[in-house]
Amino acid sequence: MYTEEEIKKAAKDIVGAEKIVALTGAGISTESGIPDFRGTDGLWTKYDPDDFTYSKFLQDPAKYWKMSLELGELLLSLEPKPNLAHLALARLEELGKLRCVITQNVDGLHQVAGNTEVIEFHGNLRRVVCIACGERFPHDLAMEKASNGELPPRCDKCKGILKPDAVLFEEPIPRYALDRSLEEARNCDLMIVVGTSAVVYPAAELPRIAKERDGYHASFFGLYQPRRVMDYKKGAKVIEINAEPTPLTGIVSDYLIEGKAGEILPKILKEVERLLGF
C-alpha cells in the first residue's frame, strides 16, 4: 500500500519536471468497470488470447466477429465513463504538467476525460477499419451489421472485410503512434506509468527508452542489436502507479506507488495544485 510520503514525492517530481509523459494500460480503466487482461478478473480468464491474433482473424473473420459481438457488448455497451485517474491526467495536461498520454487502451476514455494529446498505441475499439481500402467507420455500424447477420461485416464503399481498429496480436503498431511515442519517450524527463503489467511489447519498452533516453531504441523496431550495459543514470525519472509490482519495478522505475490509480492520481494532483499555488 502507498504512503503519503510517496504521494508528496511524486507531486514534487512532477512540479520539478518539464517534459512529462504518461504511459497508461488497462489498469487505469478497471475503476471505470472495464476489466483488464491479466488481473484476477481479467478478460484472459474468460477468453483465449490466441483467438485474437491477426492470422486467426484472416482465417475466419466471421468467427472473430461472433466473439467480438459478445466482447464488444461487454466493453462498449457498458458506456464506461472516465474515472478519477483519467480526470487527474486531464487536469495535469491543463496545468501544463503533461505533454501527452501514450495509452495501450482501446477505450477512448482519456479523450472523454479531456486529454487532447493522446497517442493510441493499440488503436481504438470504437472504430473499425476496412482491411481492403483502409476506410474507417464507427464500431457501432459494424456491430449493427454483425448483429443483423452480416458476418463478417463489410465496408460500405468497397465491400472489403471490416476489422476493429484496435491492434490485434501479430499486427504492427500504427506507424504514427510508434514514431511519436518513441520521440516522446526519448525526450521526456519524467514518465508516469499507470496500470500496465508492462509485459506487452513494444509498449513495455517505452519506460526503458525514457530511462536511458539515448540508444537502445533499435530493439523497439524488432531489429537485432547486441545488448549492452544500459546507462539509466542519464535518462528520465520513471514513476510507476500500479496495483502490484511489474517487471519494471525496482529496475526501470525509480519507485512504485502501489494501489489504485483512481485513489493515487487525484491525491498526487491535489498536492501538485497545492505546490503550484492553486
Q: Which residues have a catalytic role annotated?
A: 122
- Beta carbon of residue 276, minimum distance to ligand NAD (angstroms, whole number): 25
- Beta carbon of residue 148, minimum distance to ligand NAD (angstroms, whole number): 26
Does residue number 68 form part of the binding site for ligand NAD (CB under 6 A)?
Answer: no
- Beta carbon of residue 86, minimum distance to ligand NAD (angstroms, whole number): 11
Alpha carbon 208 to chain centroid, angstroms: 16
* Separation of alpha carbons 212 and 185, rounded Å: 9
Exposed e or buried b per residue across 257-277, where buried means at least 16 C-beta atoms within 10 angstroms of its C-beta: bbbbbbebbbbbbebbbeeee
Residue 154's beta-bridge partner residues?
161
Question: Which of 29, 68, 111, 115 is in the footprint of ligand NAD by CB under 6 A?
Answer: 29
Binding range to ligand NAD, per CB under 6 A, among 7-15, 39-47, 86-94, 223-231: 39-47
- Sign of the torsion angle spanned by Cα atoms 163, 164, 168, 170: positive
- Pick between residue 2 and residue 189 the one whose CB is nearest to ligand NAD: 2
Question: Which of 90, 92, 261, 272 is in the footprint of ligand NAD by CB under 6 A?
Answer: 261
Binding range to ligand NAD, per CB under 6 A, among 65-73, 183-191, 195-203, 219-227: 195-203
* Strand (E) or helix (H) holding 64: helix 61-76
Judged by phi (left if over 0) then psi (alpha if -120 to 50, else beta), residue 188 lies in: beta
Residue among 135, 25, 152, 144 at smallest CA distance from 73: 144
Q: Beta strand pairing status for 136-138 and 123-130?
A: antiparallel
* Separation of alpha carbons 101 and 175, rounded Å: 17
Question: Which of 25, 72, 153, 202 is in the footprint of ligand NAD by CB under 6 A?
Answer: 25
Does residue number 266 form part of the binding site for ligand NAD (CB under 6 A)?
Answer: no
* Separation of alpha carbons 234 and 205, rounded Å: 17
- Sites for ligand NAD among residues 86-145 (CB under 6 A): 104-107, 122
Does residue number 243 form part of the binding site for ligand NAD (CB under 6 A)?
Answer: yes
Does residue number 82 form part of the binding site for ligand NAD (CB under 6 A)?
Answer: no
Does residue number 207 form part of the binding site for ligand NAD (CB under 6 A)?
Answer: no
- Beta carbon of residue 37, minimum distance to ligand NAD (angstroms, whole number): 4
- Beta carbon of residue 121, minimum distance to ligand NAD (angstroms, whole number): 7
Q: Compute φ and ψ for 30, nearest 5 degrees.
A: -65, -35
Which residue has the closest beta carbon to ligand NAD?
27
Q: Which residues are near ligand NAD by CB under 6 A?
A: 25-27, 29-31, 34, 36-39, 42-43, 104-107, 122, 195-197, 200, 242-244, 246, 260-262
